[in-house]
Structure 1
Amino acid sequence: MKVTVKYFGVIAETVGKSEEVLELEQGLSVKELKDQQIKKYQISDAASLQIAVNQNLNKEVELKDGDEVAFLPPFAGG
């Protein structure tokens, strides 16, 4: 399955790109993709990283072909 992964803010700077299309195995979870990308790109501050799938913050979803996954940096409060 193909999934579009978008990177924002400091994560995009770390990764060196703002977007990529990945060919993933069927049934991969968001958590598995997150762990895979953190390891691949050595993303720091992984604990505060937010993930959105099709513009919804949800860590417990199984990815499907055509999904859009966004890696979002920590949000500043205030």
Structure 2
Amino acid sequence: MKINVKYFGMIAEAVGKSEELLEVNEAISVAEFKDQQIRKYQIADPESVQLAVNQNLELESELKEGDEVAFLPPFAGG
């Protein structure tokens, strides 16, 4: 299945790109996918990275064909 992955802020800088289309060969949870990509790109401070799947912050579901996964850096509000 194909997953569209977007990287923002310092994560995009660490990865060296802002977007990629990945082929995933098996069912994978969002949390497993996050861990896999963090190891692949050696992203610093993985605990502060949030994922949005189809623009919803979550880690509990499994990815599906065509999902958009965004890796979001820490952000502050005020």
TM range, smaller chain: over 0.9
What is the TM-score with the length of structure 1 in the denominator? 0.96
User: What is the alpha-carbon distance in structure 1 between the residues aligned to residue 76 and residue 5 of structure 2?
Assistant: 22
- Residue 16 of structure 1 pairs with residue 20 of structure 2: no
Q: 5 Å matches for 1:1-78?
A: 1-78=1-78
Count of aligned residue pairs for this structure pair = 78
DSSP-derived class of the 1:59 partner: coil
CA RMSD in angstroms, aligned pairs only: 0.8
Output the TM-score relative to the length of structure 2: 0.96
- Look up the SS of the partner of 1:37 in the other structure: helix
Tell me, which stretches of 5 or more residues in structure 1 are unaligned? Answer: none
Deviating 4+ runs (over 2 angstroms) = none
Whether the 8 Å CA contact 1:26–1:64 is kept in 2: the answer is no
Task: List alignment gaps of at least 5 residues for structure 2.
Answer: none
- Partner Cα separation in structure 1 for residue 36 and residue 45 of structure 2: 15
